[in-house]
Amino acid sequence: VDLIGIDDVRRAAQRIEGKVVRTPLLPTLWGAGDRPLWLKPENLQLIGAFKVRGALNAIGALPDGVRARGIVTHSSGNHGQAVAYAARAFGVKATVVMPDASPVVKMDAVRALGAETVIVPGKLRESTSEALAEEHGYTLIPPYDHDDVIAGQGTIGLEIAADLPEVATVLVPIGGGGVISGVATAIKALLPQAKVIGVEPELAADAAESFRRGELVEWPIEQRYRTIADGVRVGICARTFRHIQARVDDVLTVSEDAIRDAMGVLARRSRIVAEPSGALTAAAYLTRGVELPPGPVAALVSGGNLEPDLLASVLAS
Amino acid sequence: VDLIGIDDVRRAAQRIEGKVVRTPLLPTLWGAGDRPLWLKPENLQLIGAFKVRGALNAIGALPDGVRARGIVTHSSGNHGQAVAYAARAFGVKATVVMPDASPVVKMDAVRALGAETVIVPGKLRESTSEALAEEHGYTLIPPYDHDDVIAGQGTIGLEIAADLPEVATVLVPIGGGGVISGVATAIKALLPQAKVIGVEPELAADAAESFRRGELVEWPIEQRYRTIADGVRVGICARTFRHIQARVDDVLTVSEDAIRDAMGVLARRSRIVAEPSGALTAAAYLTRGVELPPGPVAALVSGGNLEPDLLASVLAS
């Protein structure tokens, strides 16, 4: 079998319990009557994103002796902070290879969590992390193309199922596809009648196109990088596409304007700060809600790391 | 006995369970090493403020026949929405008397929750609500000068004690003094070694002065209204002062600049939107943290209802 199962997600939940914030489902007053909206605010995790779940599970699943040799990853975003945090939680060394174009504030955030950073030209990030893994015996923890990472993100689905068993639709953003693969695994096992629907920016809709065509389609990086939603500019991989094909009911896309508007609504009406990727699901709810099945909707707010100026601009608009 | 007790708070917790968000304690990365900081984000309640706890408990505690006749209150702020929400949750009618100077957006918010609004000149708000109570048999639920309201707010303390039993200091904002009276009741009963410290704006420091002098001091309304923290412009009352004297360890004050700065830190570093009153405790932590005992600190973020322009301005600064 080439898909993870609900038991993998359950084991992940045991591994990470007490090490992550057990986020509540937040009711809202801005949902429509027959589709009441709940938010799963993973921006409230310590590092501001759900990524800590997968990193903790993947590092926690390693044999002690392997883990003790250290961890390496490459990331310009939330996954780097997640690995740094998770490694520290287990008391092992982490090295995060970062593109030299990464914002200094993100490099500093990784260092503040006790990880070593290695700054390289963007195109060398993967080869550098592989070389470091080989040289030092580090274990490479990729951001989504990894069963233990997917199972860790899937714990979000367990929590939604426990807190809102009457949920009709679960909205999940898609970047590399790790979190929707895990969440769909949990939801379909526990609440088979519920729909799991992915959300992408129109400008980085490789998963939507792949889903529709029934085969994995890659979008050129220069296309994907047009969206404001920097957390989902990566493409899905074969592993996550298999999970999406088997367990996801649909993939919707939203405009850049809808993403910005949703960030403002989340801040004003639900008092949480979402990064553009984190606002994708709210954008889908607000602009395409009539296409969803009737019944309660749970929308994953995946993260809240963004430049303060951007947040200020969506509030003023 | 003229103070509420832990049993009152426990009964309140039973009454409101499932009707409020069980907010998590959020760890932070911006706390100092020997005083790690946790946030209790009550801005994530449906109406954006902790007030819903006290309103639900006070309305829930009424005999069925009394409650069925309806509820009345007066408020220009979060308490009005809390009473409207709580009355709707119990299926009874609510009337909220609001000063004619209230922002239209707040009047609309109360109406959207199904309550009737009665708009009067500010100086007539109390007499009007008393007249409505007499005429229609409504029960008046005041914002803080009421034991069941205090007990309801105290459920926040129960949750902090359950989630962080090693807490050394609990920081609570003081306006009318209801929430600190309830929280201190819970904390002192369950964790007698922990300190409960109130926080006020320097510009509305009637509780700090009363605490220091050992007698209830009233500040003129025109002084209290100078602070940006509109949620704490009211003064404490005899009932809440008795609880503060008996159970609160200290009252600190913070500057207006510290409040604004803390709003920005909460949005940027913890991804939550706090109104000025909701940022008081973070402001105290950031500017007066060295005066706190060593050990974990829990800071209550009381609410998140504010004009988007104000939030945008603190993000830009």
Nearest CA in chain A to B23: A24
B28 near A CB under 8 A: yes
For residue A317, pLDDT beyond 70: no
Q: What is the DSSP letter of B41?
A: E
**Range B284-297 burial, b when 16+ CB lie within 10 A, else e:** bbbbbbeebeeebb
Interval A158-165 mean pLDDT: 98
pLDDT at residue A77, as a whole number: 83
Band (pLDDT 50/70/90 cuts) for residue A103 is confident
What was the pLDDT predicted at A76?
77
Q: Residue B196: helix, strand or coil by DSSP?
A: strand
Q: Is A47 on the interface with B (CB under 8 A)?
A: yes
> With the C-alpha atoms ordered B80, B82, B87, B88, is the resulting torsion angle positive or negative?
positive
- Parallel/antiparallel/unpaired status of strands A116-120 and A94-99: parallel
Q: Which residue of A has its CA nearest to B275?
A: A271
The rounded radius of gyration (Å) of the Cα atoms in chain A is 18
Is A68 an interface residue toward B (CB < 8 Å)? no
CA distance A5 to B162: 33
Residue B122, phi then psi, degrees to nearest 5: -50, -40
- Chain B residues within an 8 Å CB radius of A24: 21-24, 44
Report how far residue A71's alpha carbon sits from residue A68's, in angstroms, rounded to the nearest whole number: 8
Give the separation between CA B266 and CA B279, rounded to whole angstroms: 8
Reported as a single tens digit per residue, the pLDDT across A296-311 is 999 999 999 999 999 9
What percent of chain A is modeled with pLDDT above 90?
A: 91
**3-class SS of residue B172:** strand
| Whole-number pLDDT of residue B316 | 80
For residue B316, the chain A residue with the least C-alpha distance is A309
The more confident residue out of A123 and A4 is A4
The pLDDT confidence band at residue A122, using thresholds 50, 70 and 90, is: confident
Chain A hits for B272, Cβ within 8 Å? 44, 271-273
Checking if the pLDDT of B1 tops 70, the result is: no
Contact B311 A309 (CB under 8 A): no
Average pLDDT, chain B: 96
Comparing CB atoms, the residue among A27, A48, A272 nearest residue B273 is A272
Distance CA(A184)–CA(B273), nearest Å, equals 30
Q: Say which residue the tokens 């508007």 belong to.
A: A261
pLDDT digits (tens, 9 = 90+) for B262-294: 999 999 999 999 999 999 999 999 999 999 999
Q: Is the pLDDT of residue A175 over 80?
A: yes
Arithmetic mean of pLDDT, B40-49? 97
Check residue B77 and give its pLDDT: 83
Hey, is the C-beta of B316 within 8 angstroms of any chain A C-beta? yes
Which pairing describes strands A71-74 and A94-99: parallel, antiparallel, or unpaired? parallel
d(CA B253, CA B173): 10
Q: Quick one: pLDDT band at residue A1, thresholds 50, 70, 90?
A: low
Q: How confident is the model at residue B122 (pLDDT cuts 50, 70, 90)?
A: confident
For tokens 């998590």, the residue is: B24
Which among A23, A28, A273 is the nearest to B24, CB-wise? A23
Neighbours of B220 (CB within 10 A): 9
Chain B partners of A309 at a C-beta cutoff of 8 Å? 315-316
B311 chain-A contacts, CB cut-off 8 A: 267, 312, 315
Cβ contact, residue pair A308, B264, below 8 Å: yes
Substitution target in B26, B271, B306, B311 with the highest count of A β-carbons within 10 Å is: B271
Interval B193-206: pLDDT, tens: 999 999 999 999 99
pLDDT tens, residue by residue, A60-102:
999 999 999 999 999 878 999 999 999 999 999 999 999 888 8
What mean pLDDT comes out for the span A114-132? 94
User: What proportion of chain A, given as a percentage, has pLDDT over 70?
Assistant: 99
Q: Is B292 on the interface with A (CB under 8 A)?
A: no
Is 80 exceeded by the pLDDT of residue B154? yes
Contact present, A232 and A175 (Cβ < 8 Å) = yes
Residue B50, φ and ψ in degrees, nearest 5: -65, -20
Q: Which residues, 6 or more positions from A61, have their beta carbon under 8 angstroms from its beta carbon?
A: A15, A148
Chain A partners within 8 Å of B304 (Cβ): 271
Q: Longest Cα pair distance anywhere in chain B, in angstroms?
A: 58
* B117-143: average pLDDT: 95
pLDDT tens-place string over residues B205-229:
999 999 999 999 999 989 998 999 9
Residues of A in contact with B29 (CB under 8 A): 46-47, 112-113
- How many residue pairs bridge chain A and chain B with CB atoms within 8 Å of each other? 87
Give the closest residue to B113 by CA, choosing from B142, B90, B135, B130: B90
Taking CB atoms and an 8 Å limit, are A24 and B29 in contact across chains? no
